[in-house]
Amino acid sequence: MNKVRIGLIGCGTVGAGVIKILKNQSVLFKKKFNTEFSIVKICDLNPHIAQKLKINKHLFTKKSDDVLNDTSIDVVIELIGGIHPAKEIILKALKAKKHVITANKAVIAKHGTELFKEAIKQKRNIYFESSVSAGVPVINAINEGLSGNTFNGLYGIINGTSNFILSEMTQSQCTFKEALANAQKKGYAESNPTLDINGMDAAHKLAILVRLSINKTIALSNIHVEGITHISHEDIENAKELGLIIKPLAIAKKINKSVELRVHPTLIDKDHPLASVNGVFNAIFLQTDPLGDILLYGQGAGQMAAASGVISDLINLSTKGKNVSRIRMKNISFEDKSIRIQKIGEVETHFYIRFMAIDKPGVLSKITGILGKHGISIESVNQKIRKKSSAVPVIVLTHKAKEKKLRLALEEITKLSVVKSKPVAIRMESLL
């Protein structure tokens, strides 16, 4: 019987889920994998957890060093989140010759290179499946199942909070504020949801996915990030009329030896599989060669979803030989330094633009004239009828246009006296 001794640091929602699975599935793990997992120590600042989880209080400590200095422990599971002290704990664990499993997207996105190098130096492994989409096995799929493919495009709904809010606004016709409140009530959003709704949570996850699929280390500053707070019901209804839907996408698109990276609300065709991903569910659409297109879909948040990803890592770590594990870390740390990161101004895409303009002759010609002057080719223009208002919505769809040129055009249009508010521009992606 293979015996694996575990030190758990951070016993909140996900940590409690890990304990439950290890307890409930212990017979399965012994029969199927000939492996017995045992938790040797649990570190958490909450002294009441032992009683709550009905676990021997002697297993508990408030000091992470009690876990890190225990020579009997084979693997440390870090579930405290954030950068510090998580980074220091992971480094100490590796230096103490322990493997590491983490669900910490921030520390892997920001300090992955340093941590991977230390793991290779110490001949140990870091697993982090739950850092991106909880139990959806996207990291394992990229590293192993799709390892013989090159990745040309990645489009991910990887923040459940943003997806829930836009889904609610679309299906229930509630306001952004009402949808956010509902997400918080259901436990899908934090009391401070900033990192979710401003796109930074998805940016951390995109950085990890790009590191694995395109072999490029990504600084968060190289990802163009926009949140969802500017999306209105008007845009959602306009999208429906056009046969489109707005989804919060993280996008990595490889073009020759360059890659464009962006996180923002995106208009996609209502018939694409990503369009039907609603609520807190996550999905990642991969364009690969030679396999082709593939979609990974599942619950991307929640106690048991995240805990399932941690357990998956634990089983992978314990059932693979040492040589396979060491090769894995070298593959993860490999980087293609020839790949260039495109600046957002260079990116070309289609745009949906909504202007609020005074309803009088010559307005449309002024707007389209400025767009034309900046090289923006127009696919269609639609002026909505609005009663009892001097300003009416003007909807413009463009052909592919460079971001930099579009921004210059919008700056000029905003200064027109006939335009009454800042234009709303939403990028469009054709994925069918």
pLDDT single digits (tens) 240-261: 999 999 999 999 999 989 999 9
Average pLDDT of the segment spanning 216-231: 96
Lowest average pLDDT, out of 9-13, 130-134, 226-230, 356-360, goes to 356-360
Position 3 scores a pLDDT of: 96
Question: What's the rounded Cα separation, in Å, for the pair 259 and 219?
Answer: 13
| Res. 181 pLDDT band, cuts 50 70 90 | very high
The answer to whether domain 143-301 has CATH 3.20.20.10 is: no
DSSP letter (8 states) at residue 217:
-
- What region, left, alpha or beta, does residue 323 occupy, with left being phi > 0 and alpha being psi -120 to 50 degrees? alpha
pLDDT, residue 27, reads: 97
Check residue 385 and give its pLDDT.
72
Residue 387 has pLDDT above 70, yes or no: no
What integer is the mean pLDDT of 112-125? 95
Q: How many CB atoms lie within 10 A of CB 119?
A: 25
The model's confidence at residue 195, banded by pLDDT at 50, 70 and 90, is very high
Q: What is the mean pLDDT of residues 287-314?
A: 95
Q: Which helix (H) or strand (E) holds 5?
A: strand 2-9
- The domain 2-134+304-333 belongs to what CATH superfamily? NAD(P)-binding Rossmann-like Domain (3.40.50.720)
Confidence of residue 77 (pLDDT cuts 50, 70, 90): very high
Q: What residue spans in the chain does CATH classification 3.30.70.260 cover? A: 347-428
Q: Is the pLDDT of residue 325 over 80?
A: no
Mean pLDDT within 212-225 = 96
Mean pLDDT of all residues in 289-310: 94
Cα(67)–Cα(238) distance, integer angstroms = 56
Secondary structure class of 432 (helix, strand, coil): coil
Residues sharing a CB contact under 8 Å with residue 139, sequence separation 6 or more, in sequence order: 128, 129, 131, 132, 208, 212
Residue 302 has pLDDT above 90, yes or no: no
DSSP string spanning 392-426?
EEEEEEESSEEHHHHHHHHHHHHTSTTB-SPPEEE
Cα–Cα distance, 190 to 187 (Å, whole number): 7
Query: What is the rounded average pLDDT of the residues 98-121?
Result: 96
pLDDT over 90 (residue 54): no
> Quick one: tokens of 260?
């464009």
The yes-or-no verdict on residue 425 having pLDDT over 70 is yes
**Span 39-58, mean pLDDT?**
88
Tell me 211's DSSP state: H
- CATH says 347-428 is which class? alpha beta
Predicted confidence at residue 330, as pLDDT, reads 86
Measured distance CA(149)–CA(132) in Å, rounded: 20
Number of H helices, E strands in the chain: 17, 18
Evaluate if residue 145 carries a pLDDT over 80: yes
Percent pLDDT > 70 in the chain is 99
Q: What is the pLDDT of residue 386?
A: 64
Q: Give this prediction's pTM.
A: 0.95
Q: pLDDT confidence of 326, banded at 50, 70, 90?
A: confident
Residue 389 has pLDDT above 70, yes or no: no
Instruction: Give pLDDT, residue 321.
Output: 72
SS3 199: coil
273 pLDDT above the threshold of 90: yes
Residue spans of alpha helices (H) in 334-402: 363-373
pLDDT (mean) for 82-106: 97
Mean pLDDT of the 353-370 span: 92
State the catalytic residue, choosing from 87, 92, 98, 205.
Answer: 205
User: Residue 31 catalytic?
Assistant: no
pLDDT value of residue 50:
80
Flag whether pLDDT at 6 surpasses 80: yes
> E strands along 10-105, which residues?
35-43, 60-61, 75-78, 99-102
Give span(s): CATH 3.40.50.720, the chain. 2-134+304-333
* pLDDT score recorded for residue 309: 96
Q: According to the model, what pLDDT value does residue 320 have?
A: 85
Q: For the chain, where do the domains classified as CATH 3.30.360.10 start and end?
A: 143-301
Q: Across the chain, what does the average pLDDT equal? A: 94
